[in-house]
Amino acid sequence: MDQNSKKVSIIGIPLDLGANIRGASMGPAAIRIADLHKKILALNYDIFDCGDIAVPIRDTLKIKTQQNPKFKDIILPIVKEISAIVQKELAKNRTPICVGGDHSLAIGSVSGSSCFFRQQNQKMGLIWVDAHADINTPSTSPSGNLHGMPLASLLGMEQNDDFASLDGYSEKISASNTVIIGIRTVDGLERDFCRRSGVKYFTMREIDERGMHSIMTESIDWASRNTSGIHVSFDLDAIDPLYAPGVSTPETGGLSYREAHLLLEMVADTKKLCTLDIVELNPFKDIDNKTSRLAVELIQSALGKSII
């Protein structure tokens, strides 16, 4: 993949079945309405919009509470489709921007990126930006909601998990190339999982103490070791609700406006961004479209927008 390509693909994923709070399904529409195309075109990119992946309306489904994760049989084919589309767009030398939707969609997007590089005997790194670790498994999740499990699936932490074995192999991403940034709310068993997983992680305290530039310098080094691209999966709840109120699970004490932008600006500087997820926007909780507009600004930063 040409890391200097000025072509992007927009993939809308109106999925909120992985969460217990509804509304993230409207995220792709809200981001498009916030002038997504116009703002990307201003950076001289060629845009191809893949439209939205079809996701069943929750009200038309019977809630299968016995399933773990919840809605497993509905979400599994959706993430398979996401993976296939991401692979297809990467093969066309486009940078996929996956707009969600809850964070369970990343099982598909990261799997697609992983498959693309695997087919070329290459590896990729992953930077996971989130208030939560998302490293529960079906056997440890207190809720059964898939949006709290995607990173564990991608790391192949539970081998009999259908999501972990998506596309025919487990461990889509090596722990030695995976970084979590911004965590500040972790479930009990997740603490042990984080420590045992081997991933690099930075809590909000570490960001407070060291500053985002230092954190990102180390994160990029970690994600770049022997890799050919970096996938960034950015959950908007990583940002403090003061700047991003429109998320399903807001947590106070998050990234500032400038910290979020610096993070993505530094990724852009590497010229190694292969795929970007922007997830968990919930327009029903937003204030004057503040979070939708911020999401578009962050996408611009990831694509290399600079002050001068």
In a domain, 273, yes or no: yes
Of 52, 89, 147, 240, the catalytic one is: 147
- From first to last of its 308 residues, the chain has per-residue pLDDT tens of 666 679 999 999 999 999 999 999 999 999 999 999 999 999 999 999 999 999 998 888 876 556 788 999 999 999 999 999 999 999 999 999 999 999 999 999 999 999 999 999 999 999 999 999 998 888 778 788 899 899 999 999 876 789 999 999 999 999 999 999 999 988 777 788 888 889 999 999 999 999 999 999 999 999 999 999 999 999 999 999 999 999 999 999 999 999 999 999 999 999 999 999 999 999 999 999 999 999 999 999 999 998 87
- Residue 237: active-site member: yes
Tokens of 191: 């603490």
In a domain, 125, yes or no: yes
Cα distance between residue 202 and residue 264, in whole Å: 16
* H helix runs in the chain, sequence order: 27-33, 36-41, 72-91, 106-118, 150-154, 188-197, 204-210, 212-224, 257-270, 290-302
Q: How far is CA 205 from the centre of its chain?
A: 22
- Residue 130: active-site member: yes
- Residue 240: active-site member: no
- Residue 171: active-site member: no
In a domain, 101, yes or no: yes
- Residue 235: active-site member: yes
In a domain, 2, yes or no: no
Residues spanned by the domain of 214: 7-302
CA nearest 263: which of 222, 221, 229, 232?
232
In a domain, 1, yes or no: no
In a domain, 92, yes or no: yes
CATH of the domain at 144: 3.40.800.10
In a domain, 307, yes or no: no
Of 102, 132, 190, 261, the catalytic one is: 132
Tokens of 162: 């259908």
Of 102, 235, 265, 286, the catalytic one is: 235
- Residue 162: active-site member: no
Split into its structural domains, the chain has a count of: 1
Of 102, 103, 240, 277, the catalytic one is: 103
Angle of the 106-118 helix axis to the 72-91 helix axis, nearest 10: 40
